[in-house]
Each structure stands twice: as structure tokens, then as C-alpha cells.
Amino acid sequence: MRCPATSTFPAVEAFARSGRAETRLWLTPSDTFKRSLTPAQRRTLAPLRLRAIRLEAPDGTVSVLLTNLVDLRRFPRAAIIALYWRRWAVETHYRDEKTLQHIEQFHSHTPHGIRQELFAILIGCVIARTLTALSVPLESIETAQSTVRPQLKNALMSFAREAALLTPAHPEKAIVILQELLNAIRQVKYYQPKSQRPSRPRVNKQPANKWQSDRQRKLKEAA
């Protein structure tokens, strides 16, 4: 897991301030976490021994990776960092599926139908990303670090309009339609923001208990 360098576990904050590349540390459960356990569970609760790795993003932001892969020979630090960035690409893919394709809004009400929807969305997204990559000239990928690239949402919508026509029954027509599709994808660009956008707090959708409700009411009255 990845932790921020501040406002987190004290041991993680101390490691981030030290400037070291990695270390071993112990994480002690917080009092808030202990309150959610039974007395029997608290008696068996023990600190976690983890490996902490310093992670610096391209924009200079420092965070910490926590892992139980403590064998330095089998799991080098560079390999764990590379694995994290590959995993981050998976997370951004899930975000795109939820925001662009509304993957959580199923039309079917059966397990088999839901699986079909999931696979259809996944296949459509892979094809749209492939078409997006094909629409960008190779030389621009190799030589320029541009913040402008084709918009994924437009690629998905363009592919959805033309998908039924990309059939092997008429290959000559399909090639023409594919070229038109690539041109449509090139026309709409996504401009990456120059400054990092502020992170949004996580929203807890669970109903608040009476203690939280009383605390919120008191805060409103004090304000």
C-alpha cells in the first residue's frame, strides 16, 4: 500500500523525514482501530513489521510504500517501485471505467448478464485505447513529452458509433471506416493540467451512528 508522507502513521512520517531510501519499521494499531475490536481481539493484537520504501513521483511528491515483502534479495526496491507504477495504471483504468463507462450501473439482473457487461466494457476500453495509440504519430511519442493527447472519452464514443460497421464482411469498407475513426479520435484532445489538482476527501456512504450525529450537530451549533 502507499501512504502519504504526512498525516499518517508516526513511524512512516519519521521515515519520510529521514530521507532514507528504505527501512524496516513497526506499525502500532491506533486507538481508533482498537475501539472497533472486542476485548479478546485487543489482547491478541500486535504491531505489524513492514518494509518502508521511499517513493518520489515525477512531480516531486514524496510518499511511502509499505509492504510485507521484506526479502531484499528476492524483492529489490526498484522492482517493488516498478510494480507499484504498473498497479497504478490498473487503478486509473478502473477510474476510467467508472467515470466514462459507468461500469457500476448494470442493465442486467443476472450473474451471467453482468459478466457479459463487464467483459464488453473491458473489450471496448482496450480497443479504444489501442485506437488512441494508433492515432498518435510514432515520432511524437518517441521525441516529445507532450501533455496533449487524444481524449479517451471521445475515443470510446467514436468507436461505439462505428463498431457495428467494422466487420470482416466488407474489409475494404472497414479500412476506410477505421481511418475515419482514427481521424475523429485525433480531433478531440485532452490537455493535462499544468498544476496538480487538489485531492478530494473520501466520502463515507455508511449511515452515521448517533455519536457521529451528535458530534456533527455540536460542531454546527458552535459554528
Q: What's the pLDDT at 22?
A: 92
- Those residues with Cβ within 8 angstroms of residue 67's Cβ, 6 or more apart along the chain or in another chain: 1, 50, 51, 53, 75, 80
What is the tens place of the pLDDT at every residue in 174-215? 677 767 777 777 776 666 666 666 666 566 666 666 555 666
Q: Could you say which of 71, 95, 120 is where a domain stops? A: 71
Instruction: Indicate if 54 and 112 belong to the same structural domain.
Output: no
Instruction: Indicate if 113 and 182 belong to the same structural domain.
Output: yes
Listed range (64-73, 74-83, 132-141) with the worst mean pLDDT: 132-141
Q: What's the pLDDT at 74?
A: 92
Q: Could you say which of 71, 95, 124 is where a domain stops? A: 71
Instruction: Indicate if 54 and 125 belong to the same structural domain.
Output: no
Check whether 29 has a pLDDT greater than 60. Answer: yes
Instruction: Indicate if 127 and 61 belong to the same structural domain.
Output: no
Q: What's the pLDDT at 202?
A: 60
Instruction: Indicate if 64 and 134 belong to the same structural domain.
Output: no
Asked if residue 132 belongs to a domain, the reply is yes
Asked if residue 93 belongs to a domain, the reply is no
- Residue 20: pLDDT band with limits 50, 70, 90: very high
Asked if residue 77 belongs to a domain, the reply is no
Check whether 51 has a pLDDT greater than 70. Answer: yes
Instruction: Indicate if 115 and 183 belong to the same structural domain.
Output: yes
| Contact criterion met (CB below 8 Å) for 152 and 190 | yes
Asked if residue 83 belongs to a domain, the reply is no
Report d(CA 129, CA 135) in Å as an integer: 10
The cell numbers describing 26, all together, are 513497526
The cell numbers describing 14, all together, are 519519521
- Average pLDDT over the chain reads 78
- Total domains present in the chain: 2
Query: Where in the sequence is the domain holding 35, given as residue range(s)?
Result: 2-71
6-10: average pLDDT: 86
What is the tens place of the pLDDT at every residue in 108-166? 888 888 888 888 888 778 788 777 777 776 545 444 445 567 777 777 777 777 666 66
Asked if residue 205 belongs to a domain, the reply is no
Asked if residue 209 belongs to a domain, the reply is no
Instruction: Indicate if 48 and 119 belong to the same structural domain.
Output: no
- Residue 96: pLDDT band with limits 50, 70, 90: confident
Instruction: Indicate if 116 and 171 belong to the same structural domain.
Output: yes
Asked if residue 91 belongs to a domain, the reply is no
Asked if residue 196 belongs to a domain, the reply is no
Report d(CA 34, CA 221) in Å as an integer: 30
For the chain, what percent of residues have pLDDT higher than 90? Answer: 12
Cα angle 147, 138, 163 (rounded to 5 degrees) comes to 90
Q: In the sheet that 62-67 helps form, which strands lie side by side, from edge to edge?
A: 2-4, 62-67, 48-56, 22-27
